[in-house]
């Protein structure tokens, strides 16, 4: 299963809160190498975009972000 969420964001990171109210700083969401203004677009096969995202999930992990000229997309797979 692959789910993608699109939005305008420069970097997603922040603070998470535990059930006991404790705070913990989180790490940025992983992202593959970018290619200038095209971002991660060269990594996506236009004929097989789903297979491209599956390959990236194998390399980056189940949650990662990609940047394209259209904006940022968070990919959640599993």
Strand, helix or coil for residue 33 = coil
* DSSP at 23: E
DSSP H helices in 1-78: 49-60
Nearest to 61 by CA among 27, 25, 16: 27
Interval 33-76: pLDDT, tens: 999 999 999 999 999 999 999 999 999 999 999 999 999 999 99
- In this predicted model, what pLDDT tens digit does every residue of 14-33 receive, in sequence order? 555 667 767 677 778 899 99
d(CA 78, CA 76): 7
Reported pTM = 0.71
Determine the pLDDT at residue 39.
96
């Amino acid at each position: 299963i692959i789910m993608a969420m699109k939005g305008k964001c420069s970097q997603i990171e922040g603070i998470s809160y535990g059930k006991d109210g404790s705070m913990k700083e989180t790490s940025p969401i992983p992202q593959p190498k970018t290619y200038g203004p095209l971002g991660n677009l060269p990594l996506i096969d236009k004929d097989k975009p789903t297979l491209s995202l599956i390959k990236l999930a194998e390399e980056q992990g189940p949650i990662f972000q990609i940047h394209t000229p259209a904006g940022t997309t968070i990919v959640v797979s599993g």
